[in-house]
Amino acid sequence: MNAVILAAGRGRRLGKAADGRPKCLVMIGGRTILGHQLSALEGCGVDQYTVVVGYRAGEVIDEAKRFVGDRVRFVFNPIFDETNTSYSLWLALNEMRDSFFYLNGDVLFHREVMERLSASPFPSVLALELKECGDEEVKVELEGYRAVKVSKQIAPESAVGEFIGVAKFSAELAEDMHRHLERLAARIQDRQAYFEKGLEMTLDDHFVSVVDVTDLPAIEIDFPEDLRRAREIIMPGIRRLDLERSTIRVQKETARL
């Protein structure tokens, strides 16, 4: 199993809150967002990590190697300032057609998100927060258990919730999505598209389901207010849940003695 993390962006919308760092290297709870993500992926059967880098690439490379050593390869997006996630994912998939976990490099979440994706019986599945959405969120429209639309452009009243930017995709879908992303990459006017545009092009031919992570702490960090919430609410929530799980594990082990 592969894991692809898109971490090429500058994070301009964070402004001074990022202190000039790439967004994936912003510190939360004593660790970078990228560090939290790589730690959450451990134990999910990942053999190879692929990180797409761009802005201040050397620092991102050093941070990734600090967590996973030689198990990571890096793909450089030379036009990261002119492109978006569709272009970065196309670069990542150029040499890969295997199943993979997908992560936007600006999402903080509890590791159980990855565990639920990994355990899902569906080969392609999106982590979904059930909630009322506005215009900014990447929204999901369902028919039964099947995602039929994934886009910011979905009317809020048609959406069941927000795709939080973490997913699992099959090898078959990866190959098909690569073809669609390649077409987007070839057109300069489409290079600013989000990767979900390429994903939507596969939905007629591939069954993509969802896993509900509404009860787990998670947030995509785009604006200073998101970062404040991540530090003051989401990170404490992650730690609290970890403590609860640890306490339950100790209680079970004690009961067996």
Count of domains forming the chain: 1
The tokens for 85 are: 């996630």
In a domain, 251, yes or no: yes
In a domain, 148, yes or no: no
Q: Report the half-sphere exposure of 232 (CA within 13 A, side-chain side).
A: 6
Q: What angle do CA 180, 80, 40 make, to 5 degrees?
A: 80
In a domain, 145, yes or no: no
Q: What angle do CA 112, 118, 122 make, to 5 degrees?
A: 130
| 170, 105 contact by CB (below 8 A) | no
Query: Of all helices (H) and strands (E), which one includes residue 48?
Result: strand 48-53
pLDDT at 247: 77
Each of the 257 residues of the chain gets a pLDDT tens digit; together they read 999 999 999 888 998 888 899 999 999 999 999 999 999 999 898 999 999 999 999 999 999 999 999 999 999 999 999 999 999 999 999 988 899 999 999 999 999 999 999 999 999 999 999 999 998 899 999 999 999 999 999 999 999 999 999 999 999 999 999 999 999 999 999 999 999 999 999 999 999 999 999 999 999 999 999 999 999 999 999 999 999 988 766 666 666 65
Domain that holds residue 192: 2-127+163-256
Q: What CATH number corresponds to the domain at position 251? A: 3.90.550.10
Give CA–CA dist 25/7, Å, rounded: 9
pLDDT at 17: 87
pLDDT at 95: 85
Q: Which residue has the tokens 């048609």?
A: 158
In a domain, 142, yes or no: no
CA distances in angstroms from 58 to 46, 55, 64, 181, 220, listed in the order given: 23, 9, 10, 26, 23
pLDDT at 54: 98
In a domain, 140, yes or no: no
Q: Which residue has the tokens 């941070």?
A: 63
In a domain, 17, yes or no: yes
In a domain, 139, yes or no: no
In a domain, 153, yes or no: no
